[in-house]
A and B are shown apart, each in its own frame.
Chain A
Amino acid sequence: MIKIQFYSLIRLLLKREQFELPTSDNENVGQLLQRLQQQIATPFLHKLLDEKGEPILGTIIMINRRNIHHLEKLETPIHDGDVIALFPPGAGG
């Protein structure tokens, strides 16, 4: 299983803390997020990706505590047991 955790405004939008999806062979994180949106039936990818499917850069996507920016971004492969975190941090001070 893959665990996807929601934080801050993503959590408010989806009205849930996390969701679990069964592992799918040869799937990357971008594909996983598309599958997640279909499963939970609440549009949220517009908060993460632009019209071309590129990250909007307002939300951190982490896999097992690592920002996907340091991995293969949305093409980072997903493996059974991975924990994905979607977190839009507050920028002000």
Chain B
Amino acid sequence: MSAAGRYSRQILHWGEERQQQLEAATVLIAGVGGLGATVSQLLTRAGIGKLYLIDDGLVNWPDLNRQTLYSETDIGQPKLAIAKQRLQQINSNVKIELLPKRIAHSFRPPADVSIIADCLDNYLSRFDLEAGLAAGSFLIHGGIEGDQGQVLTLQKGTSQSLADIFAGTRQPQGKIPVTGAGATILAGFMVNELFNTIFGQPQLLNRFLIVGLSDLHLTFLEV
């Protein structure tokens, strides 16, 4: 199948030029769990040029309600290995590089990365991820808890930092409640913003999109 045929339905929407921009783009996805599994899958289906995936976890039973790349036969396996296998089955044209590690303060992204998807599940790792980014990089942050979540785009060096915005915020004790619908909806908003950013028109730069799923509200908060 030709690229034009494969991506014909989305090219009808955004055109050939943007498809070429997408196929030339590289995105780093930090965390391949509830948000990251769906974000990586949708970017792969759309024909992103290259993905870096970071995670150090193993597939576990409680992951299966929302982590859309994994299944029962993957229990106990490294998430990254399974993710790459599934993503390459979906689209073998996408280059996928694995970084099997936990994000620490010493983390520095590969030199060809300027767009980063924060799909992490804790504030400390988010702050460590952000600290290592090069000036001008775009960080698309996503967070989900119960039926509430948010997406925000920041540009390193010009925006307030995530660490400043979330200063003093404590990580909740214990496991965080997350549903499959909540994680998938927030991941969809993240991918939409990743497309906007790749096309040079981020819509959530310095502006939270706050999503409430119980009463179905969307609001913005400028930062």
Residues on A close to B: CB < 8 A? 5, 7-9, 11-12, 17, 55-58, 60, 62, 65, 67, 69-70, 85, 87-93
Contacts and interface: CB of A to CB of B under 8 A. Distances in A.
Contact of A7 (B35, B145, B171, B221): B221
Contacts of A70: 164, 167
Interface in B111-145: 118-123, 142-145
Nearest to A7: B210
Interface of B: 31, 33-36, 118-123, 142-146, 148-150, 160, 164-172, 176-178, 186, 208, 210, 212, 214-215, 217, 219, 221-223
Nearest to B35: A93
Quick one: which of A5, A87, A88 has the most chain B CB within 10 A? A87
A90 B34 contact: no
B165 A67 contact: yes
A84 to B, nearest CB: 12
Nearest to A62: B223
Given A12-B212, A67-B167, A70-B167, A92 B144 contact: yes
B189 to A, nearest CB: 12
Contacts of A85: 221
B121 A93 contact: yes
B131 to A, nearest CB: 17
Contact of A57 (B118, B120, B170, B221): B170
A69 B123 CA distance: 16
Given A93-B33, A93-B121, A9 B172 contact: no
Given A67-B167, A92-B121, A8 B34 contact: no
A17 B215 contact: no
B178 A92 contact: yes
12 contacts: A8-B210, A11-B212, A57-B170, A62-B221, A67-B165, A67-B168, A70-B164, A89-B145, A90-B149, A91-B123, A91-B172, A91-B176
A90 B171 CA distance: 10
A87 B221 contact: yes
